[in-house]
Amino acid sequence: MLLDGYGRTARDLRVSLTDRCNLRCTYCMPAEGLEWQPVEETLTDDEMLRVIRIAVERLGVTKIRFTGGEPLLRGGLEDIVAGAARLDPRPELALTTNGLGLDKRVAALAAAGLDRVNISLDSLDPQRYAQLARRDRLDDVLKGIEAADRAGLRPVKVNSVIMRGINEPDIVPLSQFCLERGYELRFIEQMPLGPRGEWDREAMVTAEEILAPLQERYGLSAAEEPRGAAPAQLWQVAADDSQPGGRIGVIASVTHPFCGDCDRTRITSDGQVRTCLFSRTETDLRAILRGGGTDDDVVAAWTGAHRAKPRAHGIDDDDFVQPERTMSAIGG
């Protein structure tokens, strides 16, 4: 078990499959992009599957989310999903993607065993989408979302980061779009994990500010189910003439941290365990895998890392320092 010193057990594994991406979202990456990891430093499909197998069979992981960078840029994604789906006990398998090209691959991914998908969409306005993602690809994302729904990966979840002065006008339209189609929308507070020195706590759009226009438009009530280890606080929207009702979530990582309930562990595409998004230390599993280490060696390193998992991310501490890697290289 991945047990830490504060009584938390990690059962949810985030696997970053690549640090590369075909978008340049302002809150995640600099406009010029980043220097990509050399291919030889990236875990191979077999190495990824070995790590996943050990996590599931030996460490009690029950949920796996593939992310990146953009996980659809990884050619072997379908094989990795299929390999993970063959494990016993079978883990729940999810994907977080920007949706580009998803329409062409979603049927194969569902057939391989993918259970759920989260697609990032920050605006329904082509210009604002392009301003945020620095690429004019809104139509491709929308195609990906529809294809995921048609492939039965329901409920399709949509992730949105709201940036002050850019896409605040999208809060209600994004909600309406998702409610009408039965998608579950999650707004995410912007975290200090993008280009260095650009995050500003004062400029960040808070959960409260995101909820205000929704409260006014729909009148929200707190969803009945408890949040548990899930990061999103869920709100219920009652049906009206314009939409059939549904749920909207807000992930308030900054203003209402949920570190006390965290059940996450992470592996980067170059094989480093991170016990927290904000970790400033990593545990090198790749060296063990490539140095002839046994499964027991991997288990020992991984459990050891979790024993030292910090209590909280500390964003509000005076001595907070943003981690060296930015979001796309960690795996969000």
Question: Cα(192)–Cα(18) distance, rounded to whole angstroms?
Answer: 21
Q: How far is the CB of 250 from ligand SF4 (least distance, A)?
A: 18
Q: How distant, in Å, are the alpha carbons of 33, 73, 82, 146 from that of 106?
A: 27, 13, 13, 10
Q: How many residues does the chain have?
A: 332
Query: Which positions from 94 to 133 touch ligand SF4 by CB under 6 A, shown as an x/- string?
Result: ----x---------------------x-------------
Q: Is 15 in the site for ligand SF4 (CB under 6 A)?
A: no
Q: Using the minimum distance from each CB to ligand SAM, give the nearer residue, 207 or 298.
A: 207
Whether residue 317 contacts residue 184, with contact meaning beta carbons closer than 8 Å, is answered with: no
DSSP 112: H
Q: What are phi and psi of 329, to 5 degrees?
A: -90, -15
State which of residues 159, 175, 243, 275 lies at the interface with ligand SAM (CB under 6 A): 159
Q: How far is the CB of 159 from ligand SAM (least distance, A)?
A: 3
> Mapping DSSP to helix (H, G, I), strand (E, B) and coil, where does residue 267 land?
strand
Element (DSSP H or E) covering residue 96: strand 92-97
| Interface region with ligand SF4, contact rule CB under 6 A, candidates 45-53, 55-63, 64-72, 180-188 | 64-72
Whether residue 89 contacts residue 56, with contact meaning beta carbons closer than 8 Å, is answered with: yes
Which of ligand SF4, ligand SAM, none sits in contact with 191, Cβ below 5 to 8 A by type? ligand SAM
Residues that bind ligand SF4 (CB under 6 A): 21, 23-25, 28-29, 68-70, 98, 120, 327-328
Residues that bind ligand SAM (CB under 6 A): 21, 27-28, 67-68, 70, 96-98, 120, 159, 161, 188, 190-191, 193-194, 327-328, 332
